[in-house]
Amino acid sequence: MLMMVEETADKSRSQRDLERSVTARLKSQGVRNIGFPSGNRDETVYSNGSGSLWCAFGSAEDAKIPRRWNAFGVFDDKRHAQIITVEINIPTLTNSGAVAGFFARDPATGIVYLMHDGGIGGGKPGVGQSAFLAWSDHELIEVGRSNGNVREGILLGRVDAGDITSRIWRYVQIVRDFKDAVDSGALDTDAVRRRVAEWDAYRKEARGRRRGTRRAEIDYISYHGDVVDLLRDEREGRKTKREEVLNSPLIDLYVRAGGTMTELFEVKTSISRQSLYTAIGQLVTHSADGGGNVSKTLVIPEGDLPDDLVRSIGALNIDVRRFHLSRGAKPKISLL
């Protein structure tokens, strides 16, 4: 299990690593004004140009909960004040859950990861944690604390990795799309409200399941969404006019034709027995909605599977698809 980075000095080191990794891949745009609902401030902004990620780092030690201020958005060179899409702030003197960002360390390797709890601000009705998590289908993992409690968060990436900037950019785009959906009224429907309620119920049901994550699994966790995106793009590319490619809080990806589910995909970032048992159960349970005529696909990382599970998966007519993570300065996920 990942453990929260709680000591002030350790958080400072992790923050420096994060800033170094991000600014190494962006260009300084000089001091710019940055606007937010309660005011504005001037900070050095880093970006590679309009329409791409911008970031700014600073301190907010005079805040009610002192913190490092990590702001991200979509750069617009024509604007006087840049607009924040999401802040991934880190509390400095405390480890308050009221601040959405935090660092987590793998005790086995010492690697530190940037986390965000999905708490999306913005001062508008409908912009909140449950709605965002239900809409975005992000996977939450549990991070242990020294007091024996846990905190859930979205794993964005390791602070010293070459791809942390692109991973933050992907997160910014997702948050931006969510806020746009809120502004347009697309989330103000009974269907979306039911989905948020389902997500809240699912979180309660799933709480406590993700303990004991191993190093190999940690490498893949933050790429769960990437795999789902690859599957979606691939399936969208060959869908018919009658087909829809969808997801829900409980299903990673499914295809519906004429109102009936025809295909079901479940992505797991681990090939442990427990993970496979869970995936098999999910595929069998959710495929029942299609009356037994649903094509079921389990999407998992490379690696050997136990013989008995291979036989069970085959007997249940579940197809298996693999994905691969190429490690290095610029990690990349690919479907096999």
Higher pLDDT, 336 or 291: 336
Q: Provide, rounded to the nearest whole percent, the portion of the chain with pLDDT above 70.
A: 92
* Residue scoring higher pLDDT (335 or 123): 335
Instruction: Give the pLDDT band (50/70/90) at residue 63.
Output: very high
Over the stretch 89-135, which tens digit does the pLDDT of each residue have? 999 999 999 999 999 999 989 999 999 999 987 667 777 888 898 88
Q: What is the model's pLDDT at position 125?
A: 73
Confidence of residue 203 (pLDDT cuts 50, 70, 90): low
The residue length of the chain stands at 336
Higher-scoring residue by pLDDT: 21, 205: 21
State CA 43 to chain mean position distance: 27
Q: What share of the chain is helix, strand, coil (3-state, %, to 5)?
A: 30, 30, 35
> What is the reported pLDDT for 122?
63
Model confidence pLDDT, tens digit, residues 133-181? 888 878 788 899 999 889 999 999 999 998 999 999 999 999 999 999 9
Kindly report the average pLDDT of the chain as a whole number: 88
For residue 17, give the DSSP letter: H
pLDDT tier, 204 (very low <50, low <70, confident <90, very high otherwise): low
Mean pLDDT of 263-270: 92
| 234-251 mean pLDDT | 91
Dig out the tokens for 50 from the structure.
């309009």
In this predicted structure, the answer to whether residue 205 has a pLDDT above a threshold of 90 is no
pLDDT of residue 218: 62
Sign of CA dihedral 120, 124, 130, 133: negative
Percentage above 90 pLDDT, the chain: 60
Within the chain, residue ranges assigned H as helices are: 8-23, 129-136, 164-184, 190-206, 215-221, 224-236, 273-287, 307-315
Average pLDDT over residues 47-75: 96
pLDDT for residue 208: 41
Query: Which pLDDT score is estimated for 300?
Result: 93
Chain segment 175-189, per-residue pLDDT in tens: 999 999 998 988 888
